[in-house]
C-alpha cells in the first residue's frame, strides 16, 4: 500500500460518507482522491457557482455560510470527517460558501469518479441520503428558530451547541451573532446580561465559559 493511500485510507475510513465500506473499497476510493491545501480565509466552495465535485475534510476547520462577507448567515462549522459539496453533486450549483477558518486539508473526488462509485455501491448512496436528510432537518430547525424564537433563546441555544466538555464555548461573539442571525451589538448585550446573572463569564480575550448550564438551557427553551 502506498504511503499516500495508506494515510487517506485512515481518514476516509472515519468519514460518515464512506461508513460501512470494506477495506478494499476504501483503498480504491483513496486512489481516486486528490488532496488540496487551503490557508485560513481561502474558500473551498463559493455560493452560486458551478461545481459538482465532492470534498471531505481531512484536517482543519471550515465555516459554511450564505450571503456575502459583510452580511452572511452561518449554516454550520465543519471539521475532519465532514463532507462538502454533496448538494452541488446533484444540482451542479453550489448552495453555500465554504471558507477555511484555519489551515485546512481536503480530499477531492471528481464528479465522474464519484458518480461511478455511487452506481456500483448502494452504501455510499445511502450515506449521501443520510447526510442530505440531516442537513435538511438542520435547515428546517434553523428556519423555525429564526421565525419563532427570540434572540435571547437563539443565543442560549447556540451557546449550548458549541459548549465543550471543559465548559468553554468554542465560538466567538461575532460568529455567534452570524449564527443566530442578529447584529453583534445585540448579541454582545445579551452576553453581558448573562454574565451579570452569573450564568457565564468572559475572559480577558472575550472567550466565554458557561458556569450555569441549567439556567442557559432554560433560556434556550423559551
SS (H, E, C) the chain: CCHHHHHHHHHHCCCHHHCCCCHHHHHHHHHHCEEEEECCCCEEECCCCECCCEEEEEECEEEEEEEECCEEEEEEEEECCCEECHHHHHHCECCCEEEECCCEEEEEECHHHHHHHHHHCHHHHHHHHHHHHHHHHHHHHHHHHHHHCCHHHHHHHHHHHCECCCCEECCCHHHHHHHHCCCHHHHHHHHHHHHHCCCEEECCCCCEEECCHHHHHHHHCC
Average pLDDT for 91-107 = 92
Residue 2 pLDDT more than 70?
Answer: no
Residue ranges of domains in the chain, CATH in brackets? 3-144 (2.60.120.10), 149-220 (1.10.10.10)
According to the model, what pLDDT value does residue 1 have?
47
Select the more confidently predicted residue: 37 or 90. Answer: 37
| pLDDT tens-digit map of 150-180 | 888 888 888 998 888 888 888 888 888 888 8
What is the per-residue pLDDT across 175-190, written as a single tens digit (0 to 9) for each?
A: 888 888 888 888 888 8
Residue-wise pLDDT tens digits, 23-62: 888 888 888 889 999 999 999 999 989 999 999 898 999 9
Residue 114 scores a pLDDT above 60: yes
Whether pLDDT at 88 is above 70: yes
**pLDDT reported for residue 147:** 59
- Residue 125: per-residue pLDDT: 80
Amino acid at each position: 500500500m502506498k504511503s499516500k493511500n495508506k494515510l487517506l485510507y485512515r481518514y476516509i475510513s472515519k468519514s460518515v460518507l464512506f461508513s460501512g465500506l470494506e477495506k478494499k473499497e476504501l483503498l480504491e476510493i483513496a486512489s481516486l482522491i486528490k488532496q488540496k491545501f487551503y490557508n485560513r480565509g481561502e474558500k473551498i466552495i463559493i455560493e452560486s457557482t458551478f461545481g459538482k465535485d465532492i470534498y471531505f475534510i481531512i484536517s482543519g476547520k471550515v465555516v459554511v455560510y450564505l450571503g456575502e462577507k459583510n452580511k452572511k448567515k452561518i449554516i454550520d462549522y465543519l471539521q475532519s470527517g465532514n463532507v462538502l459539496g454533496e448538494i452541488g453533486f446533484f444540482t451542479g450549483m453550489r448552495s453555500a460558501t465554504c471558507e477555511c477558518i484555519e489551515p485546512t486539508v481536503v480530499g477531492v473526488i471528481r464528479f465522474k469518479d464519484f458518480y461511478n462509485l455511487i452506481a456500483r455501491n448502494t452504501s455510499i448512496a445511502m450515506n449521501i441520503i443520510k447526510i442530505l436528510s440531516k442537513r435538511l432537518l438542520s435547515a428546517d430547525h434553523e428556519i423555525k428558530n429564526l421565525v419563532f424564537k427570540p434572540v435571547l433563546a437563539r443565543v442560549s441555544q447556540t451557546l449550548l451547541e458549541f459548549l465543550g466538555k471543559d465548559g468553554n464555548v468554542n465560538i466567538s461573539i461575532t460568529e455567534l451573532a452570524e449564527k443566530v442571525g442578529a447584529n453583534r451589538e445585540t448579541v454582545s448585550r445579551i452576553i453581558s446580561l448573562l454574565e451579570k446573572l452569573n450564568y457565564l463569564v468572559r475572559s480577558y480575550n472575550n472567550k466565554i465559559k458557561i458556569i450555569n448550564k441549567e439556567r442557559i438551557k432554560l433560556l434556550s427553551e423559551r
